[in-house]
Amino acid sequence: MYTPLKLKKENPIVLGIESSCDETAAAVIQGRRILSDEIASSANIQSLYGGVVPEIASRAHTDAVAAVVERAVKNAGIAYADIDAVAVTYGAGLLGALLVGVSFAKAFAYALNKPLIAVNHIRGHLAAAYLDEPQLKPPFITLLASGGHTAILHARSEAEFDILGGTLDDAVGEAFDKVARVLGLQYPGGPHIERCAREGTPNIPMPKMLKGGGGYNFSYSGLKTAVINYCHTKEQKGETYSIPDVAASFQCAAIDVLVEKTVAAAREKGVNTITVGGGVAANGYLRETLARACEKAHLKLVLPEKRYCTDNAAMIAAEGLVQYGLGNFAEMSLNAKASIPLSVTLEKK
């Protein structure tokens, strides 16, 4: 019989499992301290196809999940019995991929008679900041910049976030990936554009998008189209162009607007702390520009380590810890969900 004790402890040990895309990850935290953090990625297989092939991702998760969890527990220096809760990403993401993690977590929690916690992947990205700064407490402003999301959020408590604005079309990470493809760079595009941009100068005019307007909303499809048009026009005229200059110009345009609006949101809300989450938050130019802007505006900036910005399981365990504190436990009937709207994601459970 599955009758897990759901006692709330100070600094519980939480195992996090993440499998929403092409990373199979498991991590163990104790309170906000990371004890172990393991990742097996199928990104190098996926890069052959220029993006994630869901069936390949699911099969890679199935092959990797047991060993990754075993390694995470072993490297944490704990026994299975020491785990206080098993937190797993149940959405949003690729359904087949999510099902691997959810099924494994359910079986694992059942076998060990431990409470199960259902974690929304996006809330995981937001919770990554808690790992970087153990004293961090809402209120704060969060910039969420990932492959599927771009938004500015006002965290009023650990459970309550107001969405101040979001993208009207493409997510910023998606724009990085699409522009990388046009420039002949590999998937995932973000890190390749960043590397390439270091060799270039941002001297090509790009559309202003919603810079200086549009409230806290963003729009990336015009920027992406501008890059595509620039490259195609040059190619049609038989002219050469500098890929590093295009990468640098795109990167500045894509990031500057995020920084400007995030700082403006903190000022308007009278909040003195900014955090970031999501894969694009690993971008060095974003981190440097935001750090400078925060310093100028006398705001505290909490930047999770780069590896905790892209998909990982420590952030899932961190959000599991939040849910543990709130007493939100899942049933064994938990199912994976391919999509969870951001507004629902962030409502109090």
Ligand X SMILES: Nc1ncnc2c1ncn2[C@@H]1O[C@H](COP(=O)(O)OP(=O)(O)OP(=O)(O)O)[C@@H](O)[C@H]1O
Q: Applying CB under 6 A, does 287 fall inside the site for ligand X?
A: no
Residue 304: phi and psi, rounded to 5, are -60, 150
Evaluate whether 158 touches 138 at the Cβ level (below 8 Å): yes
> Among residues 115 and 278, whose Cβ is nearest to ligand X?
278
Quick one: which of 38, 84, 170, 311 contacts ligand X (CB under 6 A)? 311
> Among residues 12 and 124, whose Cβ is nearest to ligand X?
124
Quick one: which of 190, 200, 202, 304 contacts ligand X (CB under 6 A)? 190
Q: Applying CB under 6 A, does 290 fall inside the site for ligand X?
A: no
Q: Which of 128, 119, 129 lies closest to 86 in space, CA to CA?
A: 119
Evaluate whether 158 touches 323 at the Cβ level (below 8 Å): no
Q: Applying CB under 5 A, does 22 fall inside the site for Mg ion?
A: no
Quick one: which of 90, 140, 161, 176 contacts ligand X (CB under 6 A)? 176
E strand or H helix at 141, and its extent? strand 140-145
CB of 289 to Mg ion, least distance (A): 22
The first and second tokens of residue 65, run together, are 């999940």
Q: Judging by beta carbons within 10 Å of its beta carbon (0-12, 13-18, 19+), is residue 3 exposed, middle or buried?
A: exposed
CB of 3 to ligand X, least distance (A): 34
CA distances from 78 to 23, 36, 84, 85, 205 (A): 23, 10, 11, 13, 55
Q: Applying CB under 6 A, does 244 fall inside the site for ligand X?
A: no
**Which parts of 77-120 fold into alpha helices (H)?**
95-112
Q: Which of 154, 172, 151, 270 lies closest to 216 in space, CA to CA?
A: 151
For the chain, the distance separating the N- and C-terminal CA atoms, rounded to the nearest angstrom, is 27
CB of 48 to Mg ion, least distance (A): 21
Q: Applying CB under 6 A, does 218 fall inside the site for ligand X?
A: no
> Among residues 146 and 249, whose Cβ is nearest to Mg ion?
146
CA distances from 13 to 35, 73, 112 (A): 9, 11, 14
Q: Applying CB under 6 A, does 173 fall inside the site for ligand X?
A: yes
The first and second tokens of residue 30, run together, are 């104790």
CB of 55 to ligand X, least distance (A): 17
The first and second tokens of residue 242, run together, are 């500098």
Q: Applying CB under 6 A, does 149 fall inside the site for ligand X?
A: yes
Quick one: which of 14, 15, 72, 282 contacts ligand X (CB under 6 A)? 282
Site for Mg ion in 288-317 (CB under 5 A): 311
CB of 148 to Mg ion, least distance (A): 7
Site track 11-30 with ligand X (rule: CB under 6 A), x = hit = ----------x---------
Site for ligand X in 105-124 (CB under 6 A): 121
* Residue 6, helix vs strand vs coil: coil
Residue 158 binds which of ligand X, Mg ion, none (CB < 5-8 A, kind-dependent): none
Quick one: which of 38, 158, 194, 319 contacts ligand X (CB under 6 A)? 194
The first and second tokens of residue 55, run together, are 């069936």
The first and second tokens of residue 216, run together, are 């806290």
Q: Applying CB under 6 A, does 278 fall inside the site for ligand X?
A: yes
Binding stretches for ligand X (CB under 6 A):
21, 121, 125, 146-149, 173, 176-177, 188-191, 194, 278-280, 282-283, 310-311
Instruction: Name the residues that contact Mg ion, by CB under 5 A.
Output: 146, 311
